[in-house]
Structures are given as C-alpha cells and as structure tokens.
Amino acid sequence: MAAQYQPGEVEQRRYERWVKAGYFTARADSDKPPFTIVIPPPNVTGSLHMGHALDHTIQDSLIRRRRMQGYEVLWLPGMDHAGIATQNVVERRLAQEGLSRHDLGREKFVERVWQWKAESGGAILGQMRRLGDSVDWDRERFTMDEGLSRAVLTIFKRLYEDGLIYRAERIINWCPRCLTALSDIEVEHTDDDGELVSIRYSDEVVVATTRAETMLGDTAVAVHPDDERYKHLIGTEVELPLTGRRIPIVADEHVDPAFGTGAVKVTPAHDPNDFEIGQRHNLPSLTIMDERGVITAHGPFQGLDRFEARPAIVAALREQGRIVAEKRPYVHAVGHCSRCKTTVEPRLSLQWFVNTGPLAKAAGDAVRDGRVRIEPADLAKRYFAWVDNMHDWCISRQLWWGHRIPVWYGPDGEVVCVGPDEEPPAGEGWRQDEDVLDTWFSSALWPFSTLGWPAQTPELAKFYPTSVLVTGYDILFFWVARMMMFGLYAMDGVQPFDVIALHGMVRDEHGKKMSKSFGNVVDPLDWIERYGADATRFTLTRGANPGGDVPVSEDWCQGSRNFCNKLWNATRFALLNGAHVRGELPAELTPVDRWILSRLQHVIGEVDGLFESFELAKVCDVLYHFAWDDVCDWYVELAKPVLAAGGPAAANTQRVLGHVLDQLLRLLHPVIPFVTEELWTALTAGETVVTASWPVGVPELVDDAAEAELATLRRVVTEIRRFRSDQGLRPAQRVEARLDGLAAAGVAAHEPLIRSLVRLDDAGAGFAATAQLAVTAAVTVALDTRGAIDVAAERARLEKDRAAALKEAEQCRAKLDNPAFVGKAPEPVVSKIKERLSAAEADLARIATALEALPAA
C-alpha cells in the first residue's frame, strides 16, 4: 500500500472494474428479495450540481447497503428530455448559425435535437460515474425512448377515455419569450418591487392594481355581497375608463372587503382568480394581449408591449383625473420563467388538462392508509396540503421537442385520440394537435414505464412497486404527487414506491442558499477532483438529516479527506503488523480486545437502526467517531505494545484488529465506496466489498464488564495526558510517577499499558512528588517534574491564559447581567453567551489547579 491515499489513482480504476464485473446489474429472475430505486431523472441538458450529488449519494448509500444485505438490487438510471430547456439549447445553437427552428421546420428541428442529444446531451451520466453511482447501466432509460413513448401514449389514451383528460380554455402560466404554457415548477416566484395605483371607475367605485394595462380587459367590478358600502350598486353598471364600455358590478363572496377599497377589477382572461369569478358570473373573457405580451385591444395602446402600456395607461388615466392615489411602492410575488427569467403572464388559452380530482384523492389516501410512508413524517402535512387542494393540471406545451399530443382533428370538427397500436385517421383535412406534453407528464410514469409498462415484463413483476423514492422536499408536489397519481391509476391501486425519503437543499456553511448571484455555488466535480469522491460524499451525507437542509463547506470536505486518510493509515498499520481475517475469532481475549468487539456490536445495531429511518447524517457520525476515536485513537494505540511484545496475545490481537477493520470498512462502504474497496480488498484478499455481506451483530460479543473497564482506563489516560499538557510537559518527555488506586478502580493489570501510553516511568529512589492529580475517586497520580519543565515559563504561560479566560468570563457576565441584551437578543444568541461563560469558568478552574500543582521556583 502507498503511504497516502490518492483518490485519483483509485476511483476510475475501481469504478470501471465494478461495472465490467456486473456488480450493479439486477436480475429479474433472481429469488432474492427485491430492492428498487429509480433515480430522479436529471435533465438531459444538466450537469452534476451539489443537489444532485447529495441526492445520488443518499440513494447510493441505501442501494449499496441493501446489495450487501443480499437483496436483488435495482438502481435504475436515466434522463429526462427536459422539453423547454433542451429546445432552448438547440435554438441558441441554431441562432449562432443565423437560423431559427421555423427555418428548419418541425421534423428537421426535432432531428437536430436528437443529434444534439447524441453528441452533447447527458454529460451528467459520466459525472455520476465520477461520484460512484452504482446504477444498473444496462437499464438506462430516457423519457423520449421508444418504450417510454409507448407508455405515454397508452396512459394518455386511457385517461382520455376515462374522462380524466380534457381540452378547455383556462388561465395558465404563459412565457411570452418561450411562447409556451409552463407548469407550476417551471415558474419561479420572487418578491418584486411594483407600484400600486388606485383608479376611480366612478364616484363610488375605486379599484387598486399593480397591472394597470389589464384594465383594458375588465368585464366587471366585484364586491362582497355583505359590504354595506356597495350593496346598493350590485347589479348596476359602471363605465370602464378609457374604453367607453359599460361593465356590471357583481357580488362575490371571494372578495375580501377589508383589502383596499373592497372593490376589485375583474379581468377573466388575464388573472386566475378573476377567471374563477368570471366563471361563477358568466362574464365574458376579453383577451387584450397576444402571445408575446403585446397589447391587441383596439385603441391608442394597441401594439405596445405590456410594460410599455402600463405607464402609458396610467398617464392617460391621470389626464382624465382618474388616479385617486399616485403610484406607491408595493412589493408582491411575481412569477418568472425558470428558463429565461421572463415575467410570466397569466393567459386564457385553449389547452389540455388532467382532471386531478379523483387521482389526487387516491394519492392522498395511499399515504393516509399507510401504503406509502413519508420520511420525515412531519412533511406529510405539506403533501396533504397540496394533494387535497390540487388544481387541474395543464399538460400541453407549445413546443416541438417532446411527446406530441396524440389527438387528431377532422375537417368536420371530429376529435380522435390515437393509442400506441392504432393508426391515425387518414384523409384530407385531418391534422394532429401541434402541442407536446408537459415534461412532467412522462416523468410521472417513471417508476413503472422504466420497467417496461404497459407490457407485463419480468422487471415490472419483480421490481414494482419500487422500495423508496429519494428526492428533495422542494419537488414533493411537482413530481412526487404526479408519480403517485399516475402510478396508482396505471397499476390498479398499487403505489409507485413504499417510502418517500425527503431531504433538504444544499446550502453553504452559513446556511445560505447557494446561488450564482451570491457567489457561493460549489461545483461537486471540483471537490471530487481535489479531495476525492469519498470525501465529497461523506461531507454531504454528514449533513443529510431527513427533511433538513444540508450545509457544506470546503473545510468540512478537507476534514472528510483527512478521515479517509485516517482509515488508510490505520489499515496500513494493521497490515504491516500482521492483522488478518483468517479463521475464527480467538476464545481467549484481553479486556482491550473484548472491549473493541463489544463496541463494534453496538455500532452495528445503531447503524442498522439509523439506516432504516434514513438518518444518514447520524450513520456517518456514529461511524466517524467509532472509526476515529475507538478504533484509531484508542484500539490501535492500545494494541501497539501488545503487537510489539509478540506471543499468543499478539496473535489474538492481530485477528481481532483484522476483524474490526473488516467490519468497519463494510459499514462505511455505502457512503465512501472507493477507499473502503481499496482497503478491504488489501486487508481480506477478497474480490470486492461491493458484494461482501453486511455486518450482523453478535450478541455474545457484547461485554459490559470490558466496556466499563476500558472506560476507566481511557479516563485515567486522558486525564494524565491533559495534566501533563497543563504542566507544560512535552508529549514525548518521560517523567517518574507513582500511580495509586489502580487496583480499586479495576485497572491494575493495565498499569504497564497506562505508563506506556502516557510516558511515565516507575518512581525511583530519589522520587519527589512535585505535582499531584486525582483522576477518579480511587486513582491518584503523583509526578516528579523537577528538571522536566521551566517552572517560570510555564507559570507565565498559565497566567497569560488565566487573564484571557478572566476577560472572556467578565465580558459574558456583563452581557448576561444586562436586561436589555437578555430581553432583546434571540434565545440562541443568549444560549451561546451562556456556553461561552461556562467554558471560560471551566478554563479558570483548570488553570488554577495547574498553577497550584506547579513546584516552587
């Protein structure tokens, strides 16, 4: 083994061997119990970011553990065709050639997209290999491949025939730049600065709006039926300024009489709430903008962009004396296209919709009756809030890239939905719908379409329902709920997954959202290059509490790299000192050996429980401290004198050390697969840890007495080391000492070991106790430090430390004694000051003891 771990020399070599050996390939004809995860398909245009790295590491950890436990594991990879994003990428490339998609025509444009996909798309798949994803590459899928396209046509036809897909004019999110409808997840809402203007429609009716341009499409004014200010006006008409049109005043219970003037303008074609009011009162819907946001209403504003029309209309209203209150700042939520950042326009449009009512109810019932479990459980409330109040889903998009809607229109108004095994109608005048389906429509089929549905394949029978869906809480509604609806519908009430394991967003070390505008975005590939995939994975997983956001920093990644190096050094030491895994564990063991084996059993049980509850951050914490503290810092150090002495005890320790490292590396493998593979194969001469059996606890090896004995030994050694440090003794400097009370504490047999670890010699004839320490109620230590330390220099150092600790304590007390600070500061801040005071007081007590123990100058 090399003196240091070099990830770059290991990772690619190991990964290629794993894939070539078929360790990740799932068999549908296996008699092993199945465990399935379908990867949330990244966009074909995407690249690996920290969110992906977190999501994939969690999934890979679950998959690798189940594989080691003897399950037939399928982790299915694939990509989403990402309709808008991909079309935008290819259109930009065409623009560089001086072309548009319309110059090519639909068929040629789609060919260009497929060409781009073959040449440049899917870079993220290679990046997944860098991370170590143990996916079954033989089953890679794409939402536009032949099998998944057939699934899309099949479910569209079924939903259409069951009356769950319909076409209607409704208000949708519209991007005036991309010229398409958008799903909710494709709209990013931000708090934007706007201007609220109050407009007088009549002497008694004043309305307020941030979008004055839409008044050209008003078809009513609405008031609450019980609002005494307007009861006498209900059923009358008012003249709409600038237009000469007369519009009715209607009563609607959804109007909030306490908001503004209590009267609201109603523009059914350009506002979703107004559309609902219009439906209830049979109001006409006037579209006054085209698809690019340009005013189409006849008059002086025709041809103006919506944002040009707004100030022009306000100016015209001011000339007529209609502005009651001048423009005032008003911050409000504004939707933007997630792709091009254009302000989204609510638009009345003829689109295709899914009737989500019965589908959403089934999705809610599946969680309520326990068929699907949400982890953490408290996020179920958010899930129910969405599925219980779901609006119908607009599924048509005005794009060329995607699954084209399988509906044909005839010359006499006929409408025919065509399934995958049906021929479209022939003859003059027939045409197919121009729109494609929302990308989320095909990805909603992912858990079963990727397994061969609608065909009843062996893979579908073996691996559906999938075992767990791992994803961020931010798409709980947008993707998870859709998969639930379609899975339950297509698979006769069988849920698409048994568990929904939700994690949070990756944030920087200060808890701030990662954003290019903040300058705090981290590229995981950069960390992988500099610190290794294992260090990157361990850093992410150590913060992966269910449902919680995950803070990361480069310092933590460096710490994770150091942890990998610690494992490397410990295993290298073990091999150099004869550690092995041959034969059974010895029957006759020292208390130290019994202690580490007992600790191992507790760790195995704890890690298993944490994995089952998806507490991967705690898994990492338990294994980190067991590996670093118990194994490396204590067991290896305690084993060194035994190994150096040789004999039967050394032979037993070699076997125990080999066993403990073998089990530890298996436990760590799901999270840090590369370094554990390299170390485990070197230690055991086994083929691979990927398929090695998962550790199982042995209750007979739990030894409470050995754990208690070693706890005392560790305390004695720790306190003596601390005392030596406080006394200014160099770590390697040996001094004479007398140890009293070891027998009463039950560790007398370990005195040679204790002396070896803390560099203490036996007390000689001229021994003089110049420093004393009470370690426990039973154990005391007396040291002869004459000539070992510079008393004057050590006293000066301790006095300096005492002054700093005293200043810290005084500052903390001053803050805590200040009622203004305690009353106004947040509780976490006050608690932090209390912690600092407690630490300073502990330092003062320790320093006082050390000063008292110093010999006279």
> If we measure between CA atoms, which residue out of 85, 669, 179, 189 comes closest to residue 402?
85
Q: Which residues contact 451 (CB under 8 A, 6 or more apart)?
A: 76, 457, 459, 460, 463, 464
**Cβ–Cβ contacts within 10 Å for residue 32, how many?**
15
CA 810 distance to own-chain centroid: 43
CB 534 within 8 A of CB 7: yes
CA 369 distance to own-chain centroid: 26
Binding-site residues, in ranges, read 516
CB 424 within 8 A of CB 432: yes
CA-to-CA dists, residue 206 to 78, 246, 251, 709, 774, angstroms: 55, 15, 16, 83, 84
Cα three-residue angle 76-81-84, rounded to 5 degrees? 145
Task: With H, G, I as helix, E, B as strand and everything else as coil, classify residue 182.
Answer: strand
> If we measure between CA atoms, which residue out of 504, 670, 630, 648 comes closest to residue 587?
648
**Which two tokens mark 412?**
């006499």
DSSP string, 391-415: PPEE-EES-SSS-B--EEE-TTS-E
> If we measure between CA atoms, which residue out of 801, 784, 535 comes closest to residue 673?
535
**Which two tokens mark 724?**
């030596």
Pairing of strands 393-394, 345-354: antiparallel
Q: Which residues contact 39 (CB under 8 A, 6 or more apart)?
A: 56, 59, 75, 76, 77, 78, 133, 135
Question: CA 157 to CA 50: how far, in whole Å?
Answer: 38
> If we measure between CA atoms, which residue out of 484, 442, 438 comes closest to residue 173?
438
Binding-site residues for ATP, in ranges, read 516
CA 266 distance to own-chain centroid: 41
Question: CA 585 to CA 597: how far, in whole Å?
Answer: 10
- What is the SS3 string spanning 82-128? CHHHHHHHHHHHHHHCCCCHHHHCHHHHHHHHHHHHHHCCCHHHHHH
| Torsion angle (degrees, nearest 10) of CA 300, 302, 305, 309 | 30
**Cβ–Cβ contacts within 10 Å for residue 13, how many?**
12
Q: Which residues contact 526 (CB under 8 A, 6 or more apart)?
A: none
User: Tokens 């407009």 identify what position?
Assistant: 199
- Convert 613-651 to b/e letters by CB count within 10 Å (16 or more is b): ebbbbbbbebbbebbbebbbebbbebbbbbbeeeeebbe
Strand blocks (E) in 338-429: 345-354, 373-375, 393-394, 396-397, 407-409, 415-417
**Which two tokens mark 165?**
């897909």
CB 763 within 8 A of CB 738: yes
Kindly tell me the burial class for residue 246, based on how many C-beta atoms sit within 10 Å of its own C-beta (0-12, 13-18, 19 or more): exposed
H-helix segments, 120-256? 123-131, 146-161
